[in-house]
């Protein structure tokens, strides 16, 4: 019954932002003895929008006049709307929808908002997570089942050529997590076995088998043993050469450094080789690593693997074992990979991310990120670019200045 609800005033100010605006407004409200029920404030390119919902005093007209006078002194516009009741609670079925684009156009946002509306859901809040090198926008959505929303928006993401991640809005997004990373074409650019094959004169044949394996066309273990056999006789020093030639994915160090500050743990799980992954883990400060070991005898590769192969199933097993070692449930694990042999690992994790992945992997994963910046994954976790750079600045790490926006840029 409306009679049982409190009379309220919604006060909305807009105008040029400067220090003291918010405090001046609340001093005016203080004089009326009202209670604050809700507040939202944003600043866009120096323009402030402040909304305050308060209980209505006995003399609402007097308070309205005082607010108008305050706004005039600040050279701002104000609206005062009378009503009843507190701000409505958000509907059930709450999600975070993170949209990534390079660039992100108005047509992209129109398409995303349209699909959200099609499910009967509401966008309760929008905030920017990053403006470069990609634009990342986080939408707080309620009123739709996250799984249904994910399916609908996955189709739209493909049509618009943007990335859209949908996650349930729950405590797991804020809990301490374990991040499990594939290595080849995920943490590092390229495939280590192909780099070794070049030095063995077997590049073309190994590349052919690798492509089939990553696309899921042939059994991974069979293909790995076939490729490793082609490396027989290669000096073990080639492993050092390949390690020195590796190029990390852009943003890899930033992601590991930032999330470690927040208590995250990291693991590398690779169908590649421990002689490479163990050194990568030590260099990056990664806590765990598991990969295949190449057999070396008298300083040369024998063309064989020592022990069991870390294949598609083995990656999922490793993820679960690392989660147990860290003491976290698998629901709080993030897995990132690009190939078909990562699918079991991605499915086992609470959040499986297909990173610049093959189509079969993008279709099966919880979400996909197709921009070439590994640290963009942090925007999915609610961490903004500004927060990342502020933390780096405190640690004395200099971040390059952002490029100026180019309206002519096209994807």
Of the ranges 187-191, 367-371, 400-404, which one carries the lowest mean pLDDT score?
A: 400-404
CB-CB neighbours of 394 under 10 Å? 9
- pLDDT one-digit tens code per residue, 360-399: 898 888 889 999 999 999 999 999 999 999 999 999 987 6
Can you tell me the distance from the alpha carbon of 1 to that of 268, in angstroms, rounded to the nearest whole number? 58
Give the Cα separation of 133 and 127 in Å (integer): 17
Q: What is the domain range of residue 50?
A: 2-84
Give the pLDDT band (50/70/90) at residue 170.
confident
* Domain stop point among 129, 144, 170: 170
Q: Are residues 164 and 250 in the same domain?
A: no
Structure tokens at 115: 């699909």
Q: What is the rounded CA–CA span in Å between residue 305 and residue 245?
A: 23
- Residues 184 and 166 both lie in one domain: no
Burial (0-12, 13-18, 19+ Cβ within 10 Å), 55: middle
Whether the per-residue pLDDT at 404 is higher than 60: the answer is no
pLDDT tens digits for 68-82?
999 999 999 999 999
The answer to whether position 257 is within a domain reads yes
The residues annotated with a catalytic role in the active site are: 182, 184
192 within 8 A of 291, measured Cβ to Cβ: no
Is the residue at 33 inside a domain? yes
Residue 178 backbone dihedrals phi, psi, to 5 degrees: -110, 130
- Rounded Cα distance between 332 and 321, Å, is 14
CA distances (Å), origin 399, targets 100, 160, 321, 391, 402: 21, 31, 36, 11, 9
Among 365, 385, 406, residue at a domain's last position? 365
For the chain, how many structural domains are there in total?
A: 3
Q: How far is CA 165 from CA 91, 147, 380, in A?
A: 20, 11, 7
* Residue 8 covered by a domain: yes
Q: Residue 315 has which token pair? A: 């990656």
In a domain, 148, yes or no: yes
210 and 319 within one domain:
yes
More confident residue, 347 or 214: 347
d(CA 125, CA 301) in angstroms, rounded, equals 57
Q: Tell me, what CATH number does 361's domain have?
A: 3.40.50.1000
- 1, pLDDT greater than 50: no
401 assigned to some structural domain: no
Q: How far is CA 20 from CA 66, 74, 149, 253, 282, in A?
A: 17, 9, 41, 39, 49
Residues 53, 28: contact at Cβ < 8 Å?
no
> Does 392 map to a domain?
no
Whether the per-residue pLDDT at 403 is higher than 90: the answer is no
- Same domain membership, residue 210 and residue 68: no
User: Do 141 and 246 have their domain in common?
Assistant: no
Residue 220 belongs to what H/E stretch?
helix 220-229
Percent of the chain whose pLDDT exceeds 90: 74
In a shared domain, residues 154 and 238: no
59 inside domain: yes
* Residue 405 within a domain: no
- pLDDT confidence of 87, banded at 50, 70, 90? low
DSSP element (H, E) containing 359: helix 359-364
pTM: 0.84
Last residue of a domain, one of 84, 116, 146: 84
Q: What is the pLDDT of residue 215?
A: 74
């Amino acid at each position: 019954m409306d009679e049982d609800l409190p009379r309220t005033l919604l006060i909305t100010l807009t105008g040029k932002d400067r220090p003291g605006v918010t405090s001046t407004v609340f001093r005016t409200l203080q004089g009326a003895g009202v209670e604050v029920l809700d507040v939202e404030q944003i600043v866009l390119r120096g323009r402030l929008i402040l909304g305050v919902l308060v209980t209505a005093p006995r003399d609402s007209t007097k308070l309205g006049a005082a607010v108008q006078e305050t706004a005039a002194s600040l050279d701002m516009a104000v609206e005062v709307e009378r009503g009843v009741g507190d701000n409505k609670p958000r509907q059930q079925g709450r999600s975070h929808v993170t949209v990534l684009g390079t660039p992100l156009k108005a047509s992209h946002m129109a398409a995303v908002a349209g699909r959200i509306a099609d499910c009967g859901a509401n966008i309760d809040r929008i905030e920017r997570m990053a403006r470069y090198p990609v634009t990342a926008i986080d939408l707080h959505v309620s009123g739709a089942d996250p799984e249904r929303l994910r399916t609908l928006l996955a189709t739209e993401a493909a049509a618009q050529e943007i990335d859209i991640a949908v996650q349930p809005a729950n405590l797991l997004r804020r809990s301490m997590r374990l991040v499990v990373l594939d290595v080849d074409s995920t943490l590092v650019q390229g495939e280590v076995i192909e780099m070794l094959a070049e030095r063995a004169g077997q590049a073309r044949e190994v590349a052919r088998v690798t492509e089939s394996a990553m696309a899921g066309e042939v059994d991974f273990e069979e293909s790995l043993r076939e490729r490793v056999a082609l490396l027989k006789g290669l000096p073990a020093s080639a492993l050092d050469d390949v390690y020195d030639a590796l190029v990390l994915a852009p943003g890899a160090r930033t992601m590991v450094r930032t999330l470690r500050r927040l208590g995250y743990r990291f693991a590398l799980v690779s169908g590649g080789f421990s002689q490479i992954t163990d050194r990568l883990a030590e260099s990056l400060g990664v806590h765990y690593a598991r990969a295949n070991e190449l057999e070396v005898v008298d300083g040369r590769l024998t063309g064989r693997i020592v022990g069991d192969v870390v294949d598609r199933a083995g990656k999922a097993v490793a993820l679960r074992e690392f989660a147990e070692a860290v003491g976290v449930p698998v629901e709080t694990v993030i897995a990132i990979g690009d190939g078909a042999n990562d699918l079991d690992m991605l499915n086992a994790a609470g959040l499986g991310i297909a990173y610049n992945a093959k189509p079969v992997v993008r279709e099966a994963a919880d979400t996909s990120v197709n921009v070439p910046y590994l640290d963009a994954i942090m925007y999915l976790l609610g961490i903004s670019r500004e927060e990342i750079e502020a933390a780096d600045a405190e640690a004395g790490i200099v971040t390059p200045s952002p490029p100026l926006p180019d309206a002519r840029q096209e994807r």
